[in-house]
Amino acid sequence: MARFLIVEARFYDHLNDMLIAGARAALEAEGHEVEVVTVPGALEVPGTIAMAAESDRYDGFVAIGVVIRGETYHFEIVAGESARGIMALTMDGIAIGNGILTTENEAQAIYRADPKQANKGAGAAQAAMALLAMQEKFA
């Protein structure tokens, strides 16, 4: 059994609730412990994971959030920089599943977040578990 921390960028409550439900179900189905913390937005997710990783309280992480394209360049900055931060931490050996959705509209986000449809929350949790297994294999 491992301990996972879901770090959610709480901006679209109804979408995040679906992503968290999918991630939690996937992790708990494998017997893992799950905790959830909330941060203001997707840009705060990598920093929070870095701080939590330093605590040695968690074995893996799932990043959850939704970034929907708007009328400004802000979408590209948030989507790109949050992904870059998560990838940098992964390259440092932290097991992270990236479940931050980047979509053109809310309909796409609903489809991807819904556990009865694309279930990207579960997919992110499965990625985190796979990376943790790799970490253990190569330890």
Residue 50 vs residues 23, 90, 119, 135, 136: alpha-carbon distances, Å: 20, 10, 25, 17, 19
71 appears as a binding residue in the annotation: yes
What is the Cα–Cα distance from 131 to 122, expressed in whole angstroms? 14
Question: Any known ligand binding at 98?
Answer: yes
Sign (positive or negative) of CA dihedral 82, 49, 1, 27: negative
Q: Find out whether 11 is annotated in a ligand binding site.
A: yes
End-to-end CA distance of the chain: 17
Task: Confirm whether 32 is a catalytic residue.
Answer: no
CA-nearest of 35, 36, 40 to 10 is: 40
43 in a labelled binding site: yes
Q: Which of 3, 57, 74, 84 is catalytic?
A: 74
Residue 75 known to bind ligand: no
User: Is 67 labelled as part of a ligand binding site?
Assistant: yes
* Contact predicate 96/89, CB 8 Å: yes
Flag whether 66 is marked binding.
yes
Q: What is the C-alpha to C-alpha distance for residues 120 and 1, in angstroms, rounded to an integer?
A: 22
Active site residues: 74
Q: Binding site for 5-amino-6-(D-ribitylamino)uracil: what residues are annotated?
A: 11, 42-44, 66-68, 98
Q: Binding site for (2S)-2-hydroxy-3-oxobutyl phosphate: what residues are annotated?
A: 71-72, 112
Q: Binding site: what residues are annotated?
A: 11, 42-44, 66-68, 71-72, 98, 112
